[in-house]
Amino acid sequence: MVRQPIIAGNWKMYKTPSEAVEFVRRLQEASAGVDNVEIVVAPPFPALVPVAGVLAGSFIGLAAQNMFWEAEGAFTGEVSPVMLAEIGCRYVILGHSERRQYFGETDANVNRKAWAALDRGLVPIVCVGESLDEREAGRTEKVVTAQIQGCLAGLPADAVAGLVIAYEPVWAIGTGRTASPADAQEVSARIRALVAELFGREAADRVRIQYGGSVKPENTRALISQPDIDGALVGGASLKVESFAGIIRETGGAVGR
Ligand SMILES: O=C[C@H](O)COP(=O)(O)O
């Protein structure tokens, strides 16, 4: 089964709209010619519209970092899937560990959001991953299994096949401490086996699993070469064109044609 690798840059709360526009213009040039990798950027909300304008018709896709599950209503401060779809988002990141840690995001919330996103034609990038305490207590598999079961509960198998799941061990995010390729592969393989159990072999073969946590150009190739890792969700290193384009090129080189 050939799965096209997907490299997504999660800019978190960095870059003003003008900085974001300038960045994607430069990224288009820097990543031109890499045609075997899907590239996605996830700017903060105020930058989505201007960046969508620059990216219209481009090979770089647009993602939001979060959304609410209702289409509209009295929900101050929230953004709906309808709005994201209309401005040209293709993806939406759901359940990032920072949303879980600081804003009370739960697996049940992520599940409602995933249904709503799919209903509006957006592809969820569903984030899962264990904390350091959980890993050290030997609970990684248990934690990630519960997250997958909760976040994807009841979704149709063909929708799951089209999803992106980002495995991000919380202890590796922004710390410079990357999971070893073997550890990242082991959990990614567990996730794929679980998807097979819950949604069938075809969904498991098609779903793309990203690794996230201190990914940089230097460690990309070893991670991407793992059989169950189909890309990366990149934080810090996606904020500079040189390092993000480096990760994209390394990915293209690792998968070949
Ligand atoms: O969404 C991205 C992840 O949180 C990874 O962030 P990082 O690459 O800065 O460790």
Say whether 109 counts as a known binding-site residue. no
Specify the amino acid at residue 238: S
Say whether 15 counts as a known binding-site residue. no
> What is the per-residue pLDDT across 159-205, written as a single tens digit (0 to 9) for each?
999 999 999 999 998 888 888 999 999 999 999 999 999 999 999 99
The protein residue whose alpha carbon is closest to atom 8 in ligand 1 is 235
Among the four given CATH numbers 3.20.20.70, 2.40.50.140, 3.50.50.60, 3.40.50.2020, the one describing domain 6-255 = 3.20.20.70
Distances 81 to 34, 57, 78, 111 between C-alpha atoms, Å: 30, 21, 10, 14
Asked whether the beta carbons of 82 and 37 are under 8 A apart, the reply is no
Contacts of 130 (CB under 8 A, 6+ apart): 139, 140, 143, 144, 169, 170, 171
The protein residue whose alpha carbon is closest to atom 7 in ligand 1 is 235
- pTM score, two decimals? 0.97
Question: 214 alpha carbon to ligand 1 midpoint, in Å?
Answer: 6
The protein residue whose alpha carbon is closest to atom 6 in ligand 1 is 235
Question: 195 alpha carbon to ligand 1 midpoint, in Å?
Answer: 24
Q: What are residue 125's DSSP bridge partners?
A: 93, 164
ipTM associated with this complex: 0.99
Instruction: Give the model's pLDDT for residue 189.
Output: 98
**Ligand 1 within 6 A of CB of 66:** no
For the chain, give the percent of residues with pLDDT over 90: 94
- Where exactly are the structural domains of the chain? 6-255
**Ligand 1 within 6 A of CB of 236:** yes
**Ligand 1 within 6 A of CB of 129:** no
Ligand 1 atom having least distance to the Cα of 215: 8
